[in-house]
Amino acid sequence: MIVGLASLLAACSTPSGPPGPPAPITTPGQGSVRSTRPATPPVSAPAPGTLAPQPDGQGGLWRPRSQWTPAQWSDLPGWYQDRLRDWWPAWLKGCARPMMGWAVLCQQARQIGPQADEVQIRQFVQTRLRPWRVSGFDGQTNGLLTGYFEPMLEGKRQPDARYAYPLHRAPADLGQRKPHFTRAELDNLPDGRAALAGRELVYLADPLDVLLIQVQGSGRVRLLDEPGPNGQAKVVRLAFGGHNDQPYQSVARWLVDQGAFPLEQASWPAIRNWAAQNPARVPEMMRANPRVVYFREEALTDPESGPNGAQGVPLTPGRSIAVDVDSVPLGTPVWLDTTYPQAWSANPLPATPLQRLVMAQDKGGAIIGAVRADFFWGWGDEALALAGRTKQPLGVWVLWPADSK
């Protein structure tokens, strides 16, 4: 499971719950769609991966946190402009571990194969799947898109004067002691330090890189003191290996409360800037978040594949999202109607549409709500920049097997 960069600021921007809906999304000739029928949550929540019919006889479906309304392909903004060929690999990855109700369609997709062309893929999708508009029980179809990524960091196996900040495997007693030690207790108590002794995986040069990879839940580390098979520094993936069951607290929220910067300026660059100016207070800032994430090392066999998401398959940059599984089941194709993030400017350019088919292959603690998604941008500095700027209005349609509910 990837937690997502949104979690870094989640408690800062949304102290009492999930984000409220941004302004409605509209496209030329099409307004924001809202249901006119009142709706209430289902009395008995549908089982994972299933849907419940609404009792009004109008053909709608329910999830525990959303309602789905029948739609037409022409209702999906930009549907005929997307290159479904770019989505197909993410779909086939998901078919390696199909969720409930998708096994037959995945078998058919594998028969078509990875070399399918645009016409074959579009015909497959439009004949076997059916679009549904996702909304809240109040009929609200407008939501929020944030972004996340996989950090690419530099580290060493052995500590030195610069590389002194460790990332750890899970303590041996993590499953027996709940909650486990807080970050402050791990730093200061003899029992806390003993729990991590000998569990070091790698050492990083910056405590904020420790914070970043723990917030993201996964990352790549280039080992400067361990050569790979090509003679260059070996790159490994540190995958999510558990956490200490302590509550997550946003360090951005803490910094705002400390008067470091106003709420509207809270961002990852602002946090780094404060840390550079206040190095002696960085340990205090880190301890403001009692949650500690642990890792397990994985060989990076395919540098072009992302980390495994909650579905258990590798994430695809630009075609995988994290969702609230009480709104959209994992393994579901999802149509996004949103815009690309922009760098801050006094004279911003017109919004560029981001309308494409993606796969719901992950989930995260900050991703809560009917129309809510976290967009996986990939890895490295460019992905970090895009993820940090992504806070876009969002409309969502799901594609569900046409011969079932």
Among 25, 27, 55, 57, smallest CA distance to 42 is for: 55
- pLDDT of amino acid 206: 97
State the average pLDDT over residues 15-44.
36
How many CA atoms, within 13 angstroms, populate the side-chain half-sphere of residue 66? 27
Q: Residue 299: its pLDDT value, please?
A: 84
| Residues 277-282, mean pLDDT to the nearest whole number | 97
Question: Which structure tokens are listed for 356?
Answer: 């494409």
List the CATH code of the domain at 148-299.
Answer: 2.40.240.50
Range scoring the smallest mean pLDDT among 33-47, 58-72, 88-102: 33-47
- Kindly tell me if the per-residue pLDDT of 230 is higher than 90: no
Predicted local distance difference test score (pLDDT) of residue 304: 84
Q: What is the mean pLDDT of residues 1-9?
A: 52
pLDDT band at 364 (very low <50, low <70, confident <90, very high): confident
pLDDT tens digit sequence for 48-86: 566 777 655 567 899 999 999 999 999 999 999 999 999
**Packing angle, helices 84-94 and 103-112, rounded to 10:** 130
Q: Is the pLDDT of residue 258 over 90?
A: yes
Confidence band of 365 (pLDDT split at 50, 70, 90): confident
Distance CA 386, CA 66 (A): 28
Domain ranges of the chain: 148-299
405 falls in which pLDDT band (50, 70, 90)? low
What is the pLDDT at residue 210? 97
Lowest mean pLDDT among 29-43, 85-99, 308-322: 29-43
CB 328 within 8 A of CB 396: yes
pLDDT at 347: 61
| pLDDT > 60? residue 1 | no
Burial call 371-396: b when 16+ CB within 10 Å, e when fewer? bbbbbbbbbeeebbbbbbbbbbbbbb
Confidence of residue 27 (pLDDT cuts 50, 70, 90): very low
Read off φ and ψ for residue 196, nearest 5 degrees: -105, -5
pLDDT > 70? residue 145:
yes
The reply to whether the predicted model has a pTM over 0.85 is: no
Encoded amino acid at 207, one letter: P
404 pLDDT tier (thresholds 50, 70, 90): low
**What sign does the CA torsion over 73, 46, 325, 17 have?**
positive
Instruction: Say how far apart CA 388 and CA 18 lie, in whole Å.
Output: 18
Give the pLDDT of residue 21. Answer: 31
Give the pLDDT mean for 129-142: 96
Q: 167 exposed, middle or buried (CB, 10 Å; 0-12, 13-18, 19+)?
A: buried
For residue 380, name the pLDDT band (cuts at 50, 70, 90).
confident
pLDDT over threshold 50, residue 323: yes
Mean pLDDT over each residue of the chain, to the nearest integer = 87
Q: Are the C-beta atoms of 236 and 300 separated by less than 8 Å?
A: yes
Q: What is the pLDDT of residue 372?
A: 97
Q: Which residues of 296-311 are buried (b: 16+ CB within 10 A; e: fewer)?
A: eeeeeeeeebbbbbbb
State the average pLDDT over residues 237-241. 94
Burial category of 49 from C-beta neighbours within 10 Å (exposed 0-12, middle 13-18, buried 19 and up) = middle
Q: Is the pLDDT of residue 34 over 50?
A: no
Give me the residue label for tokens 């980390």.
Answer: 307
Q: Annotate 194-225 with b (16+ C-beta within 10 A) or e (fewer).
A: ebbeeeebbbbbbbbbbbbbbbbbbbbbbbee
pLDDT on residue 59: 74
Q: Tell me: the pLDDT tens digits for 175-224?
A: 899 999 999 999 999 999 999 999 999 999 999 999 999 988 899 999 99
Mean pLDDT, residues 326-349 taken together: 86
Closest CA to 91 of 305, 304, 316, 300: 316
For residue 119, what pLDDT is reported? 97
- pLDDT for residue 373 is more than 70: yes
pLDDT above 60: residue 301: yes
pLDDT of residue 14: 30
